[in-house]
Structure 1
Amino acid sequence: MTVIKVNILASGSNGNCITLTAGESTMLIDAGVAKTKIEKRLLDVGIRPNEIAAIFITHAHGDHIKGLPLANKYRIPVYATYGEWKGISGVDDELQVTVETIHGVYERLDVSGVSVQPFRVHHDAYEPVGYTVTDGETKVSICLDTGRVDGEMLADMADSDIYIIEANHDTDMVEASDYPGRVRERILSDNGHLSNKQVSVALQRLIQGRGEKIYLTHLSKRNNLPALAEMTVKQTLKRKGLEAGRHYEIEVV
């Protein structure tokens, strides 16, 4: 069985960047740290920057697009929704690819024989998306910044082998934080970020216990703890009769 290889080069409010490699084809999901850092981290995991076939952007916040000058340097096509291109500048025209919808549904994209399906998420950006990626054997779901997980998102991500999903905060820690009220409200809103409890409930619906791999990403440094995020997910999945290491694997990034 072919396995899509995942490397999480950066995760969190300081920047997000993920590589997915299927066979000889590698793509980036987001490019949210400086171009030079992406180049170095790619080389650290054995990938040359000129091997990147495409960059897929979830949304145009700085911690997801800061390193896009990489595209011009290595002539990499950049895929983003029509709405998110409003917030992206500096990418050469001929490298810009707009993710289109037909009758309100995103078109499936093909990059070097790998299928990429965008899906809607809920975040305070123009037109944010997540992605599922499959080579025909392995399916990977990437769901980063979103304030909630709805039924359509669950249907899009269902039957994945790998889940890369946000576990941004613990709700009690946000409410007790010294953040201004409007910032707390933004984080906790339906267009903000996923809490540990929210991601646990979503994974309880998604994980079937057939050896899936979970990556918990985009953790807040101030409003979460890696051990707390992991424990919350494990406890929720245990109520479904699923045990880490036996039915699924989990890694906190």
Structure 2
Amino acid sequence: MSLQFSVLASGSTGNALFVGNGKESLLVDAGLSGKKMEQLFKEVDQSIENLSGILVTHEHSDHIKGLGVLARKYKLPLYANEKTWKAMEHLIGTVPTEQKFSFEIGDVKSFGGIEVESFGVSHDAAEPMFYTFHSEGKKLTLLTDTGYVSDRMKGIVRNSDAFIFESNHDVEMLRMGHYPWNIKRRILSDLGHVSNEDAAIALSEVIGDHTKYIYLAHLSQDNNMKELARMTAEQTLKEKDHGVGIQFNIHDTDPKKPTPLIDLSHT
């Protein structure tokens, strides 16, 4: 068995990703309440007690809301870089020192056959970073919460078997929407979030022969729609001669319900 994963929740109200290989399992972020996180694990028939740890991307509340509760209740190790630790410690409550671990940008750590590489992104947090996961020749990438996708990021994530990729907003919906201008400016900036159009273009440059799954993630509930994000991605990728629906499929994520557990060894 190689990599398994489920996007437990994705969106502006909370984010969490389960990754495992049948022996070890990890959670990336816990952006919903502890009670809701427990419910999501049950829905994909997984156990929080069996987690090897929780990896943190950054300190924004939609990524750490349930972090302290889960860490204390299940005595789980937490992994984050030094600047993120400093930024979030007062937000998650007291966590025993023996459960706190450093995972810096560019580090690679092994969790029972799952190799995890961290990489930096461009977002208005202390030191935001995301992850690629490798096991048995399979590669999974999680990349959200970035204002743009740099060539460096593209090089790290290229030719993943599965991408969980930010497609946050439709630019026109955002511009015409009710958000104050300072919030719109933040989202549109290089420290904000990737639009549907920019996500599709970036995906067209990182998809490879191994790619079988694309999950569009972190959609804005106010400035996007699943159908619109998917249509934008499909249209752009088809225009660039990628095999949408043949080589790979594009999937939705949801802020309240998990995606089915996928085992990449079956691809």
TM-score range, shorter chain: over 0.9
Percent same amino acid at aligned positions?
Answer: 39
Matched, 1:93 2:97: yes
8 Å CA contact 1:209–1:248 kept in 2: the answer is no
Post-superposition CA distance 1:133-192 (Å, at most 9, x none): 111311000011110000000011012101001110001111111111100000000000
Aligned residue in 2 for 1:13:
12
What secondary structure is seen at the aligned counterpart in 1 of 2:88? coil
Rounded to whole Å, the distance in 2 between the matches of 1:211 and 1:191 is 28
Matched to 1:149, the amino acid is V
Distance 1:5 1:29 in 2: 13
Report if the CA contact (8 A) 2:160-2:210 is conserved: no
Q: Which has the higher contact order (CA 8 A, sep 6+)?
A: 2
- The aligned residue for residue 27 of structure 2 is 28
Cα distance in 1 between the residues matched to 2:194 and 2:151: 15
1:119 is aligned to 2:126: no
Corresponding residue of 1:231 = 231
SS in 1 for 2:52: strand
Q: SS at the partner of 1:88? A: helix
- Following superposition, the deviation at residue 81 of structure 1 comes to 1.1
Contact 2:212 2:248 in 1 (8 A): yes
Aligned-partner Cα distance in 2 for 1:93–1:111: 20
Amino acid at match of 2:170: D
Tell me if the contact between 1:167 and 1:194 (Cα under 8 Å) persists in the aligned partners: yes
Change (3 A) 1:40 1:99: same
Q: CA deviation at 1:200?
A: 0.4
Structure 1 runs, 4 residues or longer, greater than 6 Å off:
none
RMSD value, Cα? 1.2
Tell me, in whole angstroms, the C-alpha distance in 2 between the residues paired with 1:183 and 1:41: 30
The 8 Å contact of residues 211 and 246 in structure 1, kept in 2 or not, is answered as no
Within a 5 Å distance, the mapping from 1:15-164 to structure 2 comes to 15-68=14-67, 69-89=69-89, 90=93, 91-100=95-104, 106-164=106-164
2:104–2:118 Cα contact (<8 Å) kept? no
> How much has 1:99 moved relative to structure 2?
1.3
Letter aligned with residue 159 of structure 1: N
Distance 1:234 1:3, change over 3 A: farther
Unaligned 5+ segments in structure 2 are 254-267
SS at match of 1:202: helix
The 8 Å contact of residues 210 and 248 in structure 1, kept in 2 or not, is answered as: no
Count of matched residue positions in the alignment of Structure 1 and Structure 2 = 248
Paired with 1:144 and 1:242, the residues of 2 have a C-alpha distance of: 22
d(CA) in 1 for partners of 2:211 and 2:101? Answer: 35
- Aligned in 2, Cα 1:17/1:173: closer, same or farther, shift over 3 Å? same
Normalised to the residue count of structure 2, the TM-score between the two structures is: 0.90
- Larger proportion of strand: 1
Task: Give the Å deviation of 1:3.
Answer: 3.8
AA matched with 1:161? D
Q: Which residue of 1 aligns with 2:183?
A: 183
**Matching residue's letter, 1:195:** S
In structure 1, stretches of 5+ residues that fail to align are none
